[in-house]
Chain A
Amino acid sequence: MSIPIIQVKSLSIELSGNEILKDISMDIAAGEYVSIIGPNGAGKTTLIKCIAGIYSTWQGTLRIREKLLSEYKNKELARLMSYVPQAEGRTNPLTVEEFVATGRYPHLSAFTTMQPEDHRAVDAALERTDLVPFRQRTMNSLSGGERQMTFIAAALAQGASLLLLDEPSTFLDYRHQANVAAILTSACREHGITVLAVHHDVNTATACSDRIYGIKDGRMVCQGTPEDIAKADVLQNIYDTEFSITPSSDRTLPLVAAGGAL
């Protein structure tokens, strides 16, 4: 593997006295699409928040492009890495365009205004997420799926080469799920953006990813290619429930379903 763009080494974190993550290590190469899967409460969100710099009380080593996370200036890091939080229904009164423009924050100083290149980045992000017709709508008038798109658009407008996402398609209907998957894979395959995403749905993870990490009870329990992961025994070890594996005619990978042979 080439030099990792994200390097996590024996990362552990406690939040209000509870050990959430224990001795997590992972390497992600530039241009990869990597997914993190695991049951509820396994620590997936915490891990992505540690890497995004939102939690800072962890122990271990965390390097982005071989430089320690703590050595980055805030805006310098934000130009390299953007983050899309879990869609938990929160909203704000900004218009879609104003919100997507917040992605340009790390490129601006308190004394500058938006330059033509900033407007171009916002326009491009709106186009890639099909949000152009919504640009003057306020965020609190959008549906959950549309709002999730604006969060992704703002992250794209940030112009970072590394995109972190926390369950980008959970709670979305099928059309929005498919759109999110298409935008993320195209960002990765066509624009060379490294993607690290927490996925709730194993089939989404296997369909999009180059590699998958499985987390359970705050520990890394498995890692491998989608082919390695889409196996009944591997998944059962992660989720503590039986899985059935169904070969699919239009996917190279089989479909998995929980609950054994239903």
Chain B
Amino acid sequence: MKKPILPMVILLMLALLVLALSPLFGMAYIPYTALGQEHEILLNIRIPRVLCAFTAGAMLALSGMSFQALFRNPLATPFTLGVSSGAALGASIFIRLGWAFSFAGISGTSLAAFAGALLSVLLVYGLTRLKGGFSTPTLLLAGIAISFFFSSLILFIQYISGLTHSFRIIHWMMGTFTTADFGKLANLLPFLGIGGLLLAFLHREMNLFMVGEDIAISRGVNVGLVKKLIFLAASLMVGGVVAVCGPIGFVGMMSPHICRLLVGADHRYLTPASLLFGGLFLALCDTLSRTLIAPAEIPVGIITALLGGPFFIWLLLNRKSNLEL
């Protein structure tokens, strides 16, 4: 079987390059040889921030990839399915209630976001199932409906919150890594670890889901169990990202697509490729967000959306059929 070794190596090199060079850029250029305060900024602010952006991008790409396989639809992503909104609602409620607890080192916000993500996945899945198929219109309508509904609930929470609180929620909803540090990174990595590992073992099942559920059953896939595992992995990752840096759109849609062009559609290679590409893409976007209008910052969610919007339209226009990934 032909293995896409060259593209994989190139992706890995690019990812390492982005990880190594991104911390140098920001409000001002800081070389690795810097001392004193600049050294502190590099070590404790820039490096964890780049790592956070990379991890978050990797998770968004992986969850997008698994949704696309499961729903057999190129437009299925954390954002379009309303999963990001669900996670954001979970996190908003948690922040508003002002609770503070953590479980096994994971912040309560992350767990609440995970619960919200899982809820919206199940809602969308149930709705499309009820309509008898994962066609693009049904899927997008269900996703948009849930997205709007949850967004209004978030607005309501903002409305009944104080001004400071409300501003914080708005800022966070745009998607940003401004406050990223090693603590946030520690809150992201377990989600990538569990979600990524689950998906890594399910590459054959994702291939079969992409072909069709009847074929998956006839090949001996325990469809019910595997579906739950994929939902779990994807919701964990979306929840983990949204809790830490807000709902960031389009990474989850673009990355798997570009990777399919690079390494093919076999999830054995598509999974690591999406992880690398999503990571380096979001780390790059975050570097842009820090430098474009320096000393000010643009929320990274705005940059991904500016790049993602045209890509989304291109995708809608270029598909030969709705069912094709």
Contact surface of A with B, Cβ cutoff 8 Å: 49, 52-54, 73-79, 81-83, 85, 90-95, 97-99, 101-103, 105-106, 108, 110-111, 114, 119, 136, 138, 140, 158
Q: Is the CB of A98 within 8 A of B264?
A: yes
Q: Is the CB of A105 within 8 A of B221?
A: yes
Given contacts A74-B217, A105-B208, 4 further A-B contacts (CB under 8 A): A81-B218, A85-B212, A85-B214, A102-B204
Q: Is the CB of B211 within 8 A of A99?
A: yes
Known: A85-B215, A98-B265, A102-B204. A93 touches B220 (CB 8 A): no
B residues in contact with A98, CB < 8 Å: 1, 207, 264-266
Nearest CB of B to A197, in Å: 15
Of the candidates A73, A101, A105, A108, the one having the most CB atoms from chain B within 10 angstroms of its own CB is A105
Q: Is the CB of A78 within 8 A of B219?
A: yes
Known: A85-B212, A94-B265, A102-B207. A54 touches B201 (CB 8 A): no
A residues in contact with B204, CB < 8 Å: 102, 105, 108, 110
Which of B218, B260, B264, B320 is within 8 Å of A54, CB to CB? B218
Known: A98-B207, A102-B204. A52 touches B218 (CB 8 A): yes
Chain A residue at smallest Cβ distance from B201? A110
Main secondary structure of the interface of B (DSSP, over half): loop
Known: A78-B220, A110-B201, A136-B2. A92 touches B214 (CB 8 A): no
Nearest CB of A to B207, in Å: 6
Nearest CB of B to A104, in Å: 9
Q: Is the CB of A94 within 8 A of B207?
A: yes
Which of B2, B208, B217, B320 is within 8 Å of A102, CB to CB? B208
Which of B1, B2, B212, B219 is within 8 Å of A106, CB to CB? B219
Nearest CB of B to A79, in Å: 7
B residues in contact with A138, CB < 8 Å: 265
A residues in contact with B294, CB < 8 Å: none
- Does B173 count as interface, using CB distance less than 8 angstroms? no
Nearest CB of A to B68, in Å: 10
Q: In the bound complex, what is the Cα–Cα distance between A111 and B154 (angstroms)?
A: 43
Q: In the bound complex, what is the Cα–Cα distance between A114 and B268 (angstroms)?
A: 12
Q: In the bound complex, what is the Cα–Cα distance between A111 and B214 (angstroms)?
A: 24
Q: Is the CB of A140 within 8 A of B264?
A: no
Known: A102-B207, A140-B324. A97 touches B220 (CB 8 A): no
Chain A residue at smallest Cβ distance from B264? A95
Known: A93-B325, A98-B264, A110-B201. A103 touches B211 (CB 8 A): no
Q: Which of B215-230 contact A (CB under 8 A)?
A: 215, 217-222
